Amino acid sequence: MSLKEGELSNEQIEFFHREGYLIVENLFQNDDLNALRRELADGIDEKIEQLRTDGLLTETYPSEPLETRLVKIYRDDEEIGRQIMYHLEGYGGGGYHGKEMFNLIQHPNMLKLAESILGPELVSSSIYRLRTKVPGDKMKVVPWHQDSGYFASHCDSHLILTCWIPLVDVSVENGCLEVIPRSHRVGIVEHHKCADRHGYLVIKDENLPESEKPIIAVEIKAGSVLLLTNLTAHCSLPNRTDEIRWSVDLRYQSAKTPNNVDLWPEENPADYEKNLEIACSPPEADFVVHSNRNPEKVVDFQGFLQRREAFYEQGYPKEKRWQPENAH
């Protein structure tokens, strides 16, 4: 399914709510994604130069493109490769905060798409993620889960829209996502924290939502977007190619959904202590990205950085929702 200027049709919206996912083709032009790709390549250059200066890296493969440069470095020295990747991703993939990432979050097509489903009062959050699926890296294989498994339980009844955006063409071979259609209809299911799955939450096979429709392998081109509800069960496959599968996932919600957009930890310490009941994914910073009612609340890039830093620096424990289990 494609769309005009980001606005979904009634048929697309109906499909999304019925099936729990929607593939939107050609949402972005190459130039829309190339800016972020260049910014990521610059970040890689920055870390590589630091490691070279420190005498930790000699072969830097400067002529290799974004898809293969880190693959070669990983194969020479996996630990050095992980240092470069962590420089970009941060913990769990949510550490990247470059200007082009922010521009993607606020891209007019993204906002129009989100507005089609959630309405014009839009909140995004720092639970966006940069995904770098390195070939053969088992830590990048994400098991079956629902995004709500990572959120506070008081948000289970709210729609939080995941927009998964590949920066390269994705296929079964390079680790695309798999989705269980209509799995969102059963609500939240039991998850476990499994040590043998690198700290990911996991839905055991016996707890996977049943569906009369087959599992979908989402093979799409760069510039397309996969939409998911926060209750849609999905996973990602291993990357069996010789190139990195780069992707981004962004999240949007209605301003009516619990959020902390009016909260600053250092200014409202009493309210901040109650933040587990205010936001869906504390201690991540929520921020307004579109509003007809209060346009002055829409953040610019500096406001985005300030909110991220304030919440990151403060920190506090999340709801302990799922029990650990050592085997899956």
CA atoms within 13 A on the CB side of 313: 9
> Residue 278's pLDDT band (boundaries 50, 70, 90)?
confident
Q: Does domain 10-29+94-325 have CATH number 3.30.450.150?
A: no
Q: Around Cβ 1, how many Cβ atoms within 10 Å?
A: 14
Q: What would the pLDDT profile of 211-239 be if each residue is shown by its tens digit? A: 888 999 999 999 999 999 999 999 999 99
Mean pLDDT of the chain: 89
Residue of 92, 176, 169 lying closest to 128 (CA atoms): 92
CB neighbours of 291 closer than 8 A, spacing ≥ 6?
A: 120, 121, 122, 255, 297, 298
Distances (CA, A) of 140 to 23, 93, 137, 199, 227: 22, 10, 6, 11, 20
pLDDT at 55 over 80: yes
- Rounded to whole angstroms, what are the CA distances from 79 to 57, 82, 84? 11, 5, 9
Is a pLDDT exceeding 90 seen at residue 7? Answer: no
Task: Bin 251: left if φ > 0, else alpha if -120 < ψ < 50, else beta.
Answer: beta
Average pLDDT over residues 185-207: 86
Instruction: Return the pLDDT at 326.
Output: 56
Q: Poorest-confidence range of 29-43, 101-115, 178-192, 264-278? A: 264-278
Predicted pLDDT at 31:
85
So what's the pLDDT on residue 222?
96
How confident is residue 284, by pLDDT bands cut at 50, 70 and 90?
confident
Confidence bin at 328 (pLDDT 50/70/90): very low
Least confident among 70-74, 198-202, 313-317: 313-317
Residue 28 phi, psi dihedral angles, 5° rounding: -120, 150
What integer pLDDT is reported at residue 327 of this predicted model? Answer: 45
CB atoms within 10 A of CB 157: 11
Taking the C-alpha atoms of residue 156 and residue 151, their distance in angstroms, rounded to an integer, is 8
* Cα 72 from Cα 48, distance rounded (Å): 13
pLDDT band at 48 (very low <50, low <70, confident <90, very high): very high
**8 Å CB contact between 102 and 301:** yes
pLDDT surpassing 80 at residue 325: no
- Beta strand 177-179 with 129-133 is unpaired
The residues, any chain, with a CB within 8 Å of residue 97's CB and separated by 6 or more, are: 304, 305, 308
Determine the pLDDT at residue 263: 86
CATH 2.60.120.620 maps onto the chain at 10-29+94-325
Look at 118-127, 235-244, 287-296 and tell me which has the smallest mean pLDDT: 118-127
- Which of the four pLDDT bands, split at 50, 70 and 90, describes residue 323? confident
- pLDDT at position 182, please? 97
Contacts of 17 (CB under 8 A, 6+ apart): none
Residue 1 pLDDT level (bands cut at 50, 70, 90): very low
So what's the pLDDT on residue 2? 43
In order, the DSSP letters of 145-187 are B-GGGGS-GGGTTS-EEEEEEESS---TTTT-EEE-TTGGGG-
Reported confidence tier of residue 18, pLDDT bands at 50, 70, 90: very high
Whether the upstream peptide bond of residue 283 has omega within 30° of 0, thus cis, is: yes
The pLDDT of 69-78, averaged and rounded, is: 94
Q: What per-residue confidence (pLDDT) applies to 210?
A: 87
Question: 3-class SS at 5?
Answer: coil
Per-residue pLDDT, 175:
96
Distance CA 36, CA 117 (A): 25
The predicted pLDDT at position 126 comes to 75
